[in-house]
Amino acid sequence: MSHPQILPREFQVLAVLVLLAFLAWLIRLVRSQKVTLRDSLLWVLSTVALVVITIFPSLLLRLARALEIQVPSNALFGASILYLAVNLLSATIANSVNAANQRRLVQECALLRGELESLRRDFAGRARTAASGEPSKPPART
Amino acid sequence: MRVLVIVPAYNEARNLPALEVQLRAVAADYDVCVVDDGSSDDTAKVAAELGLFVLRCPLNLGIGGAVQTGYLWARERGYDAAVQVDGDGQHHPEDIAAVLGPIRRGEASVVIGSRFLSAGGFQSTAVRRAGIRYLCWFLRLRCGARVTDPTSGFRAADKSAIDLFARSYPSDYPEPEAIAIAIRRGLRIAEVPVHMVDRAYGVSSITPWRTLYYLVKVSLALLMLPLRRMHARREPEQA
């Protein structure tokens, strides 16, 4: 199945080893819960796809022919750039969602601090009126 | 009508005392809430010492996030109207009544205080005025808004606008986009003349490069409005 004219065998072995090492790293990150399974999914699937292409470069050749790319290695570059772009975009999406969530949480935190502050004021006010023997008034609204 | 004055403040500890004096003159009519946007100076402490009510953001959110915090508070406390007044002393609290006018009369849901409708005062640099004219043109093109000062942060919102802004408010350089969002929701916009002065202490966050970024960012935001609207509709109502 291998096409030495596309990818030399030495390169194939090295590339597969590097990709497998990368995959092992990914799996370790998931198992040690530094990356969630959901976020790792795209990386794992696309890396597995790269391993398949490296082992069977004829796929690459067919892709190059189908797209009428003269030099098959350019199909490889194209595929790699797509691989990086897709993974980067998915990371960007996750980042934007996180930023929106963080903003909401920070605001909630500010509102709760405000609520606490106004409760403290009410409480201090009532304690003062109680100490001076006057009937307690309903709390002032902030 | 219960009115909340929202004062977004980022490192404005030195400008707040003067603002407080001006606010005190009109304070009987309104509740004031300073939103400390994660300042690294004593903004929150100074505001509290001045007796102002403070909402403290633990992190810096940027002006949009800070202003929205104020709108969230206004919604939670059921205010009938909210007025944004910058914490840097650019805006005069005595103009608050004027900015609230169209809302009291039921003529508009969002009112913008425009420095270009009044003579004199701080009119900004020529480059920035050109940028503002471009934004006016773009806003009119994109959603038919006829405003003269789309970057003004001096504005009032009625209950429906408070609800809208509490739910969706842009993050950085939010002013022109907020107008577009309001118009898209079918809210009426009005403008009234106000007087503005240059800040007393500190530097404005807007440098020439930032002005360019401002224009590009706001243009893109205005171009992408319909998508954002769909997104906002899908967003679940927060309690």
Mean pLDDT by 10 residues, chain B (239 residues): 93 89 82 93 90 92 95 96 90 91 95 84 75 90 88 94 94 90 92 83 68 86 68 47
Asked if B231 is an interface residue toward chain A (Cβ–Cβ < 8 A), one would say: no
Question: Can you give the pLDDT at residue A23?
Answer: 94
Asked if B56 is an interface residue toward chain A (Cβ–Cβ < 8 A), one would say: yes
User: Which residue on chain A is closest to B59 by alpha carbon?
Assistant: A106
Residue numbers of B between 130 and 189 with CB closer than 8 Å to A: 171
Average pLDDT over residues A94-115: 94
Question: Can you give the pLDDT at residue A2?
Answer: 46
| Residue A109 clears pLDDT 70, i.e. is over it | yes
Q: Judge whether B168 and B181 are in contact, CB under 8 Å.
A: yes
Longest dimension (CA), chain A: 98
Question: Can you give the pLDDT at residue B200?
Answer: 61
Question: Which residue in B146, B134, B207 sits closest to B180, CA to CA?
Answer: B146
Q: Judge whether B85 and B93 are in contact, CB under 8 Å.
A: yes
Question: Can you give the pLDDT at residue B202?
Answer: 63
B235: β partners: none
Asked if B55 is an interface residue toward chain A (Cβ–Cβ < 8 A), one would say: yes
User: Which residue on chain B is closest to A118 by alpha carbon?
Assistant: B53
- Of B31, B33, B61, Cβ closest to residue A103: B61
Question: Can you give the pLDDT at residue A111?
Answer: 96
| Residue A121 clears pLDDT 50, i.e. is over it | yes
Query: Parallel, antiparallel, or unpaired: how do β-strands B53-57 and B31-37 relate?
Result: parallel
A-B contacts (CB, under 8 Å): 48
CA A73, A75, A76, A81 dihedral sign is positive
- For B38-181, strand residue ranges (E) read 53-57, 81-84, 110-114, 155-158
CA A14, A15, A17, A18 dihedral sign is positive
Instruction: Look at residue A136 and give its three-state secondary structure.
Output: coil
Asked if A2 is an interface residue toward chain B (Cβ–Cβ < 8 A), one would say: no
Residue A16 corresponds to which amino acid? V
Q: Predicted confidence band at A61 (pLDDT cuts at 50, 70, 90)? A: confident
Please tell me the distance from the alpha carbon of residue B127 to that of residue B58, in angstroms, as a whole number: 35
| Residue A22 clears pLDDT 90, i.e. is over it | yes
Question: Can you give the pLDDT at residue B126?
Answer: 78
Are residues B57 and A141, on separate chains, in Cβ contact within 8 Å?
A: no
Please tell me the distance from the alpha carbon of residue B197 to that of residue B223, in angstroms, as a whole number: 32
For chain A, give the percent of residues with pLDDT over 90: 35
Written as six digits, the tokens of A72 are 């098959």
Q: Scanning the structure block, which residue is given the tokens 């997104």?
A: B231
Mutation target vs B (from A107, A108, A119; most B CBs, 10 A cutoff)? A107
Instruction: Look at residue A37 and give its three-state secondary structure.
Output: helix
What is the average pLDDT value for chain A, to the nearest integer? 84
Question: Can you give the pLDDT at residue B206?
Answer: 64
Please tell me the distance from the alpha carbon of residue B155 to that of residue B135, in angstroms, as a whole number: 17
- Higher per-residue pLDDT: A71 or B147: B147
Burial label, B84 (beta-carbon count in 10 A; 0-12, 13-18, 19+): buried
Q: Predicted confidence band at A1 (pLDDT cuts at 50, 70, 90)? A: very low
Question: Can you give the pLDDT at residue B144?
Answer: 84
Asked if A107 is an interface residue toward chain B (Cβ–Cβ < 8 A), one would say: yes
Q: Which domains does chain B have, with CATH numbers?
A: 3-224 (3.90.550.10)
